[in-house]
Amino acid sequence: MKKSILLSLGMIVFVGAVVIGATGAFFSDTETSTGNTFTAGAIDLQIDNESYYNGARNEGTSWTQSDLDGSQFFFNFNDLKPGDWGEDTISIHVNNNDAYACVDVRLDSNDDNGLTEPEAGDGDETGGEGEGELANAVHFYWWADDGDNVYEEGEQLLDGGPLGSLEVGQVATVALAEPNGGVFNGPLQGDTVYHIGKAWCFGDSAFQPYEPGETGPTERPVICDGAGEDNITQTDSLTATISFYAEQARNNGEFICRPHLGDAPEEPEEDNIITQDDLALNADDVLADPTSWFFYNDTNDTLMTINQFSGNGGVNEIVAGPDSVGSAKMVLHSGEPTDPRYNIATSQFGDTLLSDISSLKYRIYDASASSQAPYLHFNIDFFNTGAWQGRLVQVPTGVVEDTWTTVDALGSTWTKTSGNWPDGDISDGTLPGSTARTWADILADYPDAETNTGVLSWFGIRVGHPGPVGEESYVDWVEFDGQVYDFEN
């Protein structure tokens, strides 16, 4: 945990005197300003945690408000059994200054710790470091809580899933408070306490808001069923680091949450700024500049000119969006072609192995009352054969209307269009494409998977599932493999 407290003191005294010669006296006047002082404010981030394990308060993973010094654990359970579950309410405090805040979760290890006879009997063939199965079997749920240890209707559920959705050493970052966005929709206010809920389950799980009358953590916030687990996780272990970071809000309107484990954040590559003049308007423009971005109509598979369907209420342009944030604005039209599907898209990410993608994020604003949020999808070649095998689709959860939301796609689940998930070759298997799978599951089953190449190398953020007419959304930026592509008017 890094804190910074700076004290600066300056004193300036102004004395004005007027002296004019006269008989027997001096006229005079003195005006003095004393005690002129500059003192820097403080950003002092502190955390407390209230933890329950299988419904009982667990003192070993609970602590009062403090700095994190390495002795506090959000989970520390060394005899885990299928069906075990837990719940925590994490309280976040800053000092007397408003601050932006982020949380990083890094999977540090996922080890087999040897190969027991029961593990081998259930098909485990490994036994070394980084070869464990436990990270894929423990599922996490996070939500913005009001401090009562209860997930209730109206509280925002965040992207979650198993820690196995991360590779060992990989970091997932959640924006708690960003300018006009994040979980708490703007900066954390000084001297105000904020709460994040966390629940986990070792096994198959379901998570839903508490029913009326359920009042506390001894009621199960997560239905945890360990019956489907076998011996393959015996003796396995995982470790993870959870890190909170806060930074002043005033004079810092461009703040974006990025991985910040350690004493200093990673230096991001310089953002690519995309203005409306940079957009491709037809296929020839894309051929001339394969790195270009463009608006794309999925209904008839064509590049769009700016505000192409304005006569029917459609909008596609780069503007100063909500809160004056430069962004790609899309409002779906009525009339022909029906079932509108607008994208801000590019073809520059083709022929990229999925296993080489270190980060995949985007920031969106849903200005419509429908339940449909903008989502990410791209063309996929599961076996590196040059074949098109549909699209991978990641639909974000927990998006709040009229709020900027940063989505970490690698920490979310994915579905597939056009048939079932492949099984061993380019032919479809038996698992429906609508079955959601984690990024880690996809990498494990399809180690050679890559984005399509050539004319099929397509990647976009789409508004419209399809429609509804009038659906209005904005895309601020997209991050692909550590590089940010920022839409600015």
- Per-residue pLDDT reduced to its tens digit, 248-274: 998 888 788 887 776 555 555 567 999
**For position 388, what pLDDT does the model report?**
92
Q: What is the DSSP letter of 466?
A: S
Name the band, by pLDDT with cuts 50, 70 and 90, for residue 310.
Answer: very high
**For position 30, what pLDDT does the model report?**
59
pLDDT at 105 over 90: no
Mean pLDDT of 179-183: 80
Please tell me whether residue 298 adopts helix, strand or coil conformation: coil
Task: Count the domains in the chain.
Answer: 2
Same domain, 134 and 241: yes
**For position 142, what pLDDT does the model report?**
85
Domain membership of residue 27 (yes or no) is no
Q: In terms of residue numbers, what domain contains 449?
A: 272-487
Same domain, 277 and 244: no
> Strands, E, within 56-189: which ranges?
56-57, 63-66, 85-93, 99-111, 138-145, 157-162, 171-177
Please tell me whether residue 322 adopts helix, strand or coil conformation: helix
Domain membership of residue 263 (yes or no) is no
Same domain, 242 and 325: no
**For position 436, what pLDDT does the model report?**
93
CA distance 308 to 312: 9
Same domain, 48 and 175: yes
Tally of residues, the chain: 489
- Amino acid letter at 383? F
pLDDT at 18 over 50: no
**Out of 18-22, 92-96, 145-149, 458-462, which region has the weakest mean confidence (pLDDT)?**
18-22
Residue 268 structure tokens: 């991001």
Name the band, by pLDDT with cuts 50, 70 and 90, for residue 13.
Answer: very low
Report the 10 Å Cβ neighbour count for 190: 16
CA distance 78 to 50: 19
Same domain, 177 and 289: no
**For position 278, what pLDDT does the model report?**
96
Same domain, 306 and 437: yes
Same domain, 241 and 291: no
**For position 435, what pLDDT does the model report?**
94
CB-based contact 231:118 (threshold 8 Å): yes
Domain membership of residue 19 (yes or no) is no
Same domain, 50 and 182: yes
CA distance 152 to 156: 9
CA distance 454 to 97: 51
The domain boundary, picked from 248, 282, 298, lies at 248
CB-based contact 377:366 (threshold 8 Å): no
Chain-wide mean pLDDT for the chain? 85
Nearest residue to 321 via CA among 374, 270, 372? 374
| CA-based torsion, 449, 453, 455, 457: positive or negative | positive
The domain boundary, picked from 248, 283, 312, lies at 248
| CA-based torsion, 176, 181, 186, 187: positive or negative | positive
Domain membership of residue 331 (yes or no) is yes
Higher local confidence (pLDDT), 216 or 323 = 323
Domain membership of residue 9 (yes or no) is no
CA distance 39 to 33: 17
pLDDT digits (tens, 9 = 90+) for 19-46: 333 444 677 665 666 556 666 666 788 8
**Out of 8-22, 36-50, 201-215, which region has the weakest mean confidence (pLDDT)?**
8-22
Same domain, 295 and 235: no
Same domain, 295 and 218: no
pLDDT digits (tens, 9 = 90+) for 125-156: 888 888 889 988 998 888 888 888 778 877 88
Percent of the chain with pLDDT over 70: 87
Residue 255 structure tokens: 């703040």
**For position 215, what pLDDT does the model report?**
62
CA distance 401 to 369: 7
Domain membership of residue 322 (yes or no) is yes
Same domain, 425 and 293: yes
Residue with tokens 């298997």: 429
Same domain, 210 and 150: yes
**For position 9, what pLDDT does the model report?**
28
Domain membership of residue 359 (yes or no) is yes
pLDDT digits (tens, 9 = 90+) for 352-362: 999 999 899 99
Domain membership of residue 8 (yes or no) is no
